[in-house]
Amino acid sequence: MSDQGHPAQAAPPRRSLIDTLEIDVRLLGMLMAFAAVAVVFTIWTGGTFVGPRNVFNIAVQTVPVGIMACGMVFVIVARHIDLSVGSMLAMSSAVMAMSQTTWLPTMFGTEYGNPAILAATIVLGLAFGTLMGAITGWFVGYQRIPSFIVTLGGLFVWRNVNWFTTNGQSVSLTDPNLLMFGGTEGVLGATASWALGLVASALAVWAIIASRRNKQGHGFAVKPVLAETVLAGLIVGTILLFVGWLSRYPVPVAKLKRLFEARGEVMPEGYTAMHGLPISVLILIAVAVAMTVVARKTTFGRYIFAMGGNPDAAELAGINTRALTVKIFALMGFLCALAALVAQARLQSHGNDIGMLEELRVIAAAVIGGTALAGGVGTIYGAILGALIMQSLQSGMAMVGVDTPFQNIVVGLVLIIAVWVDILYRKRLGLSK
């Protein structure tokens, strides 16, 4: 019997490699942009751009902006903005600088450099940063003043209170324990860096496997095994390449001699040591991981994205959006203070211009990283990548002799293009009109 009455079943459409691997197209675009920047400046500088020393410097310089960009993701996702982060960084830095050099040593009758004083200083600075953020959140959440106005006012207020705090003077910071947070003075060395890199790689693979099993156990759809394998390979490869590259950056001989002399020893002939991972970069990684967990695994994080997606629906669902706003800005203030600790340690001083214009770089990093200004959409890893792209651009342009004003012009154009691309991407997905 003929089966002409039953039309042949249509063949399923062929899937592209990107569809098969279920790759985030936006993330892929950012990675391609970062790769393009690296390739252009590597060729332009004859390979110096990707040398271990410059990669180390870019990583260290990215940390303060990257830390604050993690908090800015939550702020923008919740449909707010914070223009005061650079001034809060400066204010937190002023409080910590004066606490460790003048206020606390005078109060307790001790000398500058006491480890207990430094610990108390850090706690005080982080608490003060959190308080500044909470004040901003109270005005925005409970008094219903637009965040743009509150934080614009905060930009002027905290920047100038910072000036009065130090009487307009720069404060030199030479405590070795503090400088450990800054970069070159605080590194793990090659051996410890490799050990940490291997542990991090193993944890990353375990996390991917555990997440897959958890989804399967609850009956949720999972990515193809090939996609998970490629993802694990990329993560492990990136970690080990980064660790290996920084472990090729030697500590200057003169610095090694000073370290041995400080211990009353003589440096052995031919002795060498490598920088490895900076402690400041580890702080940024810890912040990024913690903020990602908060965003994806906690009620607080889910409430932020719910409020950003639809504030009215979030309130009707019983979410206290006012208190949530205070918490978001308090967290932003805490991260500003943490960034201040890293920044003053890297600069080995507190100056009145510390953190100047950082608010613009932080917002740009979050937006370039895919955080939608309309709210409800954003990722921590995207903000970190955005900060890294911006710092790489500025570093590369500085290496080839581009003037600072033109560097800022390029960064501004990149920001506009990033927002434009995001709008086109959202239209394509039907997320906006």
> CA-CA distance, 228 to 208, in Å (whole number)?
7
Q: Which of 258, 277, 296 is the last residue of a domain?
A: 277
Neighbours of 273 (CB within 10 A): 17
> CA-CA distance, 163 to 353, in Å (whole number)?
9
| Tally of structural domains, the chain | 2
What are the two backbone dihedrals, phi and then psi, of residue 106, each rounded to the nearest 5 degrees? -70, -40
Q: With CA atoms as reference, report the closest residue to 71 among 383, 283, 346.
A: 383
Give the largest CA-CA distance in the chain.
104
For residues 93 and 340, the answer to whether their CB atoms sit within 8 Å is yes
In this structure, are 170 and 30 located in the same domain?
yes
Model confidence at 355, pLDDT cuts 50, 70, 90, reads: very high
In this structure, are 130 and 50 located in the same domain?
yes
- CATH number where 298 lies: 1.10.3470
Residue 277: the pLDDT is 96
For residues 243 and 276, the answer to whether their CB atoms sit within 8 Å is yes
pTM: 0.92
177-220: pLDDT as tens digits: 999 999 888 999 999 999 999 999 999 999 999 988 988 888 88
In this structure, are 319 and 394 located in the same domain?
yes
Residue 220: the pLDDT is 84
Kindly tell me if the per-residue pLDDT of 411 is higher than 90: no
Contacts of residue 243, Cβ cutoff 8 Å, sequence gap at least 6: 193, 194, 196, 197, 276, 277
For residues 353 and 379, the answer to whether their CB atoms sit within 8 Å is no
| 9 within domain boundaries | no
> CA-CA distance, 131 to 236, in Å (whole number)?
39
In the structure, how many helices (H) and strands (E) does the chain have? 18, 2
| 214 within domain boundaries | yes
Angular region, 237: left φ>0, alpha ψ -120 to 50, beta rest: alpha
Model confidence at 430, pLDDT cuts 50, 70, 90, reads: low
> Count of alpha carbons within 13 Å of 416, Cβ hemisphere only?
6
In this structure, are 180 and 193 located in the same domain?
no
Structural domain that includes position 378: 17-186+278-428
Q: What is the mean pLDDT of residues 99-114?
A: 92
Q: Which of 277, 298, 317 is the last residue of a domain?
A: 277
In this structure, are 210 and 283 located in the same domain?
no
Residue 433: the pLDDT is 47
Look up tokens 């793990």; give the residue: 188
Contacts of residue 427, Cβ cutoff 8 Å, sequence gap at least 6: 433
Element containing residue 350 per DSSP (H, E): strand 349-350
Q: What is the mean pLDDT of residues 25-44?
A: 87
Q: Which of 235, 259, 277 is the last residue of a domain?
A: 277
More confident residue, 29 or 234: 234
In this structure, are 391 and 318 located in the same domain?
yes
| 218 within domain boundaries | yes
Long-range contacts of 225-229 (CB under 8 A, 24+ apart): 226/20, 226/21, 227/20, 227/21, 227/22, 227/23
In this structure, are 160 and 256 located in the same domain?
no
In this structure, are 273 and 364 located in the same domain?
no
Provide DSSP, 154-178. Answer: HHHHHHHHHHHHTTT--EE---HHH
370-400: pLDDT as tens digits: 898 888 889 999 999 999 999 999 999 999 9
| 319 within domain boundaries | yes
For residues 358 and 68, the answer to whether their CB atoms sit within 8 Å is yes
Residue 286: the pLDDT is 97
The radius of gyration of the chain from alpha carbons, rounded to an integer in Å, stands at: 24
| 433 within domain boundaries | no
In this structure, are 57 and 75 located in the same domain?
yes
Percent of the chain with pLDDT over 90: 67
Element containing residue 349 per DSSP (H, E): strand 349-350
In this structure, are 272 and 363 located in the same domain?
no
User: 110-124, 328-342, 377-391, 405-419 — which is least confidently predicted?
Assistant: 405-419
Output the CA angle 86-92-96, nearest 5 degrees. 145
Long-range contacts of 117-120 (CB under 8 A, 24+ apart): 118/175, 118/177, 118/178
> CA-CA distance, 329 to 66, in Å (whole number)?
17
Residue 22: the pLDDT is 60
